[in-house]
Structure 1
Amino acid sequence: MEIIHLTYPFKENIIPQNIILALGFFDGVHRGHQELIKIAKEKAKQRHLPLVVMTFDRHPKEVYQNKKVTYIDTLPEKAYKMQKLKVDYLLVMHFNEAFSKLTAQEFVDNIIVKLHADTVVAGFDYTYGPKDTANMKNFPKFAQGRFNIINVPKQSYDGQKIGSTEIKKAITSGNMELAAKLLGFPYVMSGYVGHGLRNGHKLGFPTANLVWSEDKAVPKIGVYATKTKICGKWYDSMTSVGYNVTINQGKKLYIESNLFGFDQEAYDEEMVIKWYKYTRGEIKFANLKELTQQMSQDEAEIKNYFAAMN
């Protein structure tokens, strides 16, 4: 898969042939997005054309509403998922002021037509400007017969609407099973191993301290059954999201993983966490002995959880 970063206006022939173009922001690349991309991929195979997915480098709300947005995926995480879905090109449009001021007709003329779209595949709620006009219902009017349009209906799974908003709510409330159900895989946070306070080492539970992208959705405070990848290998793990209230009075939030069967220094190594289950909230213990006892219980419970999955 090739990733192409675009800034409007861009030159013609970015991809020198007709394409099947899938449109969306695709945060999470969840089950709904996967269905849309599958439909687009089938069309690309029928037409013997490359599948191109166009997304933005940031959510339009950040420009239109000057609003801070939290994300399910960083751009590299999104790109990794697109590659797994066998997308040929990922176009990342820089969502700047000039781009945000395009009319619906200009978006079609100067973006879609310029990209030589044979067929455009988008979700029922996709918008390309003010939603009262720049919506899927009016899309054929702006297209003027220059390309085909596939409108993908709303997706649900097991009676639950699939959407990035619903998934973010599940993550931030600690409902990792629901998040995984809607995503189609466990929620992932990636970053690198940073320097923590080494409190876990002192207690006999050494932890790797995740440094993550600050605009990622963070699971609610507590302890989780997770799998953590360090130095290219996955380990069952227990991960704490919290302020280390027994040891510190600090205001810094930490995400720390104790990897079962791993006890090495790994500072600055890439670190990835898959989140499976919330097991308990953060507790302030009277002393370190009580904390250590609880961590032993947590370890046993989480090991049993993963053993039951196998």
Structure 2
Amino acid sequence: MKVITLDYPISAPITNQKVILTLGFFDGVHIGHQKLIKDAKLIAEEKKLPLMVMTFDKHPKEIYKNDHKFVYLETAHEKEQKMEKLGVDYLVIIKFTKEFSQLKPQDFVDQVIMKLKADTVVVGFDYTYGPKDIANVENLPKFARGRFQIVVEPKQSIDKIKVGSTYIRKAIQGGNVELAAALLGQPYETSGIIVHGFRRGHKIGFPTANLDISDAKVLPAEGVYATRAKINGKWHDAMTSVGYNETFKTNHGLTIETNIFNFDEEAYGEPLTLAWYKFIRSNKKFSGIEELSRQLDQDKRNIKQYFYDLEK
């Protein structure tokens, strides 16, 4: 897969042939996105043309709503990896600027879609390219003027819940990581670097890896979770706490602390990826170390049983 980052206006075509073009931001590349891209790939194979996905370097809300605290479901690198697995030939990333955000719908078609040499455009039912009352899929044929074919993917739902990035973010922020996994097609993942903590877990028999998160990704709600931790290329069952150290009467900000089962190596400075499987319980303030230790022991037993049942 070739990854190409473009500034607007697009100065020259990327390819010397027509392409099947899929449009969207694709945050999370969830099961709805996957269905759309797989269907576009089938069209590309049938027409013997490359599949191109066009997206942006930042979410449009960062510009339209001046929301610079917007949290994502994945990093640019994670998105690229998923696109490549889906068989995308060209991933085009346009820098989403104030100027670009002000493009009129006809100009978007003429100066972006046509510049990318679209034979067929494949979009979701709710795709927009400007004000949604005008720049929607219903009006796209009018702007296309017969220059390319249009395929619209219908709405997808699971148990009457719309498959969409917004719903997935809300699920994660509410601690419902199981719903998020169902909509994503895999457990939600968070990556970072293991940093030094206060080593309180070591003192009570539950050593933890403290994760430093630098990416602007959504974090699960406070609480204890069944997770799997990938370190040194290997996955381990684990339990992870998201929250503040209330029992120890310290507040050094939100922490992500993971007790990795069957792992006792020093790993400071190492990258760690967490896959979030199930919310176990809410955080609570304990009377002391003894009560905390008993609760952590029970949490560990519950999580081990959960993963045992999951593998059955």
> How does the TM-score come out when normalised to structure 1?
0.96
Letter in 2 for 1:226: T
Instruction: Provide the residue aligned with 1:252 in structure 2.
Output: 253
Instruction: Provide the residue aligned with 1:200 in structure 2.
Output: 201
Contact 1:210 1:256 in 2 (8 A): yes
Letter in 2 for 1:294: Q
Query: Which range is displaced more, 205-214 or 228-237?
Result: 205-214
Instruction: Provide the residue aligned with 1:300 in structure 2.
Output: 301
Change beyond 3 A, Cα 1:15–1:197: farther
1-side partners of 2:225 and 2:305: how far apart? 13
1:110-259 superposed matches below 5 A:
110-259=111-260
The one-character-per-residue Cα deviations of 1:24-46 (angstroms, maximum 9, x if unpaired) are: 11111111111111110101110
1-side partners of 2:255 and 2:11: how far apart? 45
Letter in 2 for 1:183: L
Instruction: Provide the residue aligned with 1:290 in structure 2.
Output: 291
The one-character-per-residue Cα deviations of 1:229-279 (angstroms, maximum 9, x if unpaired) are: 011110000000011211242141011111111111222222111111000
Give the unaligned 5+ runs of structure 2.
none
Give the unaligned 5+ runs of structure 1.
none
Contact 1:5 1:92 in 2 (8 A): yes
Letter in 2 for 1:36: L
The one-character-per-residue Cα deviations of 1:79-138 (angstroms, maximum 9, x if unpaired) are: 222122121221111111121111111111111111111111001111111111111111
CA RMSD of superposed structures (Å): 1.3
1-side partners of 2:141 and 2:260: how far apart? 53
3-state DSSP of counterpart to 2:115:
coil
2-side partners of 1:134 and 1:159: how far apart? 27
Displacement, 1:303? 0.6
3-state DSSP of counterpart to 2:111:
helix
Displacement, 1:214? 4.8
1-side partners of 2:270 and 2:14: how far apart? 36
1:20-169 superposed matches below 5 A:
20-67=20-67, 68-169=69-170
Change beyond 3 A, Cα 1:2–1:203: farther
2-side partners of 1:264 and 1:4: how far apart? 40
2-side partners of 1:10 and 1:269: how far apart? 40
Contact 1:6 1:92 in 2 (8 A): yes
2-side partners of 1:118 and 1:276: how far apart? 41
3-state DSSP of counterpart to 2:37:
helix
2-side partners of 1:202 and 1:16: how far apart? 64
2-side partners of 1:248 and 1:47: how far apart? 64
Contact 1:171 1:219 in 2 (8 A): yes
Displacement, 1:7? 1.2
3-state DSSP of counterpart to 1:206:
coil
Displacement, 1:11? 2.2
Q: Calculate percent identity across the aligned residue pairs.
A: 57
Contact 2:75 2:215 in 1 (8 A): no
Query: Which range is displaced more, 1-10 or 44-53?
Result: 1-10
Aligned length: 310
Displacement, 1:78? 1.5
2-side partners of 1:5 and 1:25: how far apart? 14
